[in-house]
């Protein structure tokens, strides 16, 4: 019986996928399986992945083939969300976790992850992670102070003004019972922000979760070619993602102030980086921003903007200039 399925979507990760899969060999067990979904790679990624196939002679070690490896290759890219969903459709473990093809794991991390959810007996467990930029390593903590105890996932959404678990959407920073079923599926066709509606639905509809102090995922930032570094029209999927969040909250308006706060903070961040867009794409982005901001009740939006940093408030008010203010405008230096 398979205890854990590790789903690894990858596309054009030739410089990194070897490190990623090597880290999995240092985590392998007979009851673990590894599902690699090659999302239409055009570089040497497929050949590197194939090099990790081989006879399963027991536990893997450095330089070994990866036991329990399954590879699904798509000729045409489907995007990260659907690649993860394809991996989920092949998974057979009691639990599932995710790993992106340009990241890696500490030795023995997966066994600790399984021990955590087994010991707590909840639907899912979230963990900390290590952010990597060149040689720099910084631990980022999941925003839940009470560790190692089981919580109601809905209690992890509020308060609106603080960073909470729905602001920590990284699917690879945790482990999940596979019998959560459709709650684990990502919104298809999204090429960015696919984890935002996913984490909201998980926290609104799962029965229990916990956070443990475990930081074994190494998350590589500022990778050339990643969507965080590229300003093409796939960035417009940010609005599709938050449309889903706002639509889902139509029957649960108590969480709408939190969604509005998260939307405004992230949108302001995107606008700060808008120089990466062409003039035509920037115009489309700002039009989409104005449209989605108007989905938030005007008084709630005005209150949310009033609570932001002055620079971010100003950037968003330029998108919706006719929005009324709840207090006098701040003076800018």
Which residues, in sequence order, are CB contacts of 97 under 8 Å at separation 6+? 4, 5, 6, 7, 110, 113, 172, 174, 175, 176
Q: Are residues 74 and 13 in the same domain?
A: yes
Both 202 and 103 in one domain: the answer is yes
What is the SS3 assignment for 275?
helix
250-254 average pLDDT score:
93
Give the pLDDT of residue 330: 56
**Residue 264 covered by a domain:** yes
Minimal CA–CA distance to 290: which of 256, 255, 316?
316
Q: Which residues pair with 125 in a beta bridge?
A: 175, 210
Residue 50 sits in the same domain as residue 133? yes
The residue to which tokens 């729905």 are assigned: 166
Instruction: Read off the pLDDT of residues 210-241 as tens digits, 9 standing for 90 and up.
Output: 999 999 999 998 765 554 445 567 788 899 99
What does each C-alpha distance from 69 to 36, 41, 64 come to in angstroms?
Answer: 7, 18, 12
Residue 272: predicted pLDDT:
85
Answer whether residue 29 is part of any domain.
yes
Q: What is the pLDDT of residue 55?
A: 59
Domain around 69: 4-220
Contact present, 5 and 96 (Cβ < 8 Å):
yes
Is residue 144 located within the same domain as residue 207? yes
Instruction: Check whether 174 has a pLDDT greater than 60.
Output: yes
Domain contains 110 = yes
* Domain-located, residue 326: no
Q: Is residue 54 part of a domain?
A: yes
Q: Are residues 280 and 243 in the same domain?
A: yes
Quick check: 41 pLDDT over 90?
yes
Indicate whether 4 pLDDT > 80: yes
Q: Do 212 and 275 have their domain in common? A: no
- Note the pLDDT of residue 328: 60
Residues 262, 210 share a domain: no
Residue at 214 is within a domain: yes
Together in a domain, 245 and 210: no
Q: Among residues 220, 249, 278, which one ends one of the domains?
A: 220
Q: What pLDDT score was predicted for residue 57?
A: 41
The pLDDT of residue 206 is above 50: yes
How many domains would you assign to the chain? 2
Domain boundary among 186, 220, 254: 220
DSSP SS3 for 141: coil
> Of 197, 220, 243, at which residue does a domain stop?
220
Report the percentage of the chain scoring pLDDT > 90.
Answer: 77
For residues 11 and 132, membership in a common domain is answered with yes
Paired tokens of 70: 């399954």
Query: What pLDDT, on the 0 to 100 scale, is given for residue 58?
Result: 42
User: Is the domain of 194 the same as that of 248?
Assistant: no
Render pLDDT for 259-294 as a digit per residue (tens, 0 to 9).
999 999 999 988 888 777 888 988 899 999 999 999
Per-residue pLDDT, averaged over 3-25, amounts to: 97
Indicate whether 187 and 240 sit together in one domain. Answer: no
Q: Indicate whether 206 and 262 sit together in one domain.
A: no
Q: What is the CATH number of the domain that holds 17?
A: 3.90.550.10
């Amino acid at each position: 019986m398979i205890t854990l399925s590790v789903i690894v979507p990858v596309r054009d990760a030739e410089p990194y996928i070897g490190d990623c899969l090597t880290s999995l060999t240092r985590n392998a067990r007979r009851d673990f399986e590894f599902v690699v979904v090659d999302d239409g790679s055009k570089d040497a990624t497929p050949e590197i992945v194939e090099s990790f196939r081989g006879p399963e002679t027991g536990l893997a070690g450095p330089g070994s083939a990866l036991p329990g490896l399954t590879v699904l290759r798509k000729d045409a890219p489907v995007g990260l969300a659907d690649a993860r969903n394809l991996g989920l459709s092949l998974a057979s473990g009691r639990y599932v976790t995710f790993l992106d093809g340009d990241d890696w794991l500490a030795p023995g991390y997966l066994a600790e992850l399984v021990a955590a959810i087994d010991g707590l007996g909840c639907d899912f467990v979230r963990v900390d992670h290590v952010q990597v930029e060149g040689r720099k390593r910084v631990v980022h903590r999941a925003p839940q102070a009470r560790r190692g105890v089981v919580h109601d996932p809905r209690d992890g959404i509020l308060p609106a003004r603080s960073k909470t678990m729905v602001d920590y959407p990284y699917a690879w920073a945790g482990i999940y019972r596979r019998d959560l079923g459709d709650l684990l599926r990502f919104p298809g066709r999204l090429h960015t922000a696919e984890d935002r509606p996913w984490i909201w639905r998980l926290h609104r509809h799962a029965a229990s979760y916990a956070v443990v102090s475990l930081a074994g995922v190494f998350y590589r930032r500022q990778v050339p070619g990643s969507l965080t570094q590229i300003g093409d029209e796939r960035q417009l999927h940010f609005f599709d993602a938050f449309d889903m969040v706002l639509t889902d909250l139509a029957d649960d308006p108590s969480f709408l102030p939190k969604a509005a706060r998260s939307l405004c903070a992230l949108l302001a961040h995107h606008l700060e980086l808008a120089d990466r867009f062409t003039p035509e794409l920037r115009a489309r982005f700002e039009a989409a921003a104005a449209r989605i901001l108007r989905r938030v009740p005007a008084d709630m939006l005005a209150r949310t903007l009033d609570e932001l940093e002055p620079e971010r408030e100003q950037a968003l008010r330029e998108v919706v200039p006719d929005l009324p203010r709840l207090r006098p405008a701040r003076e800018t230096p």
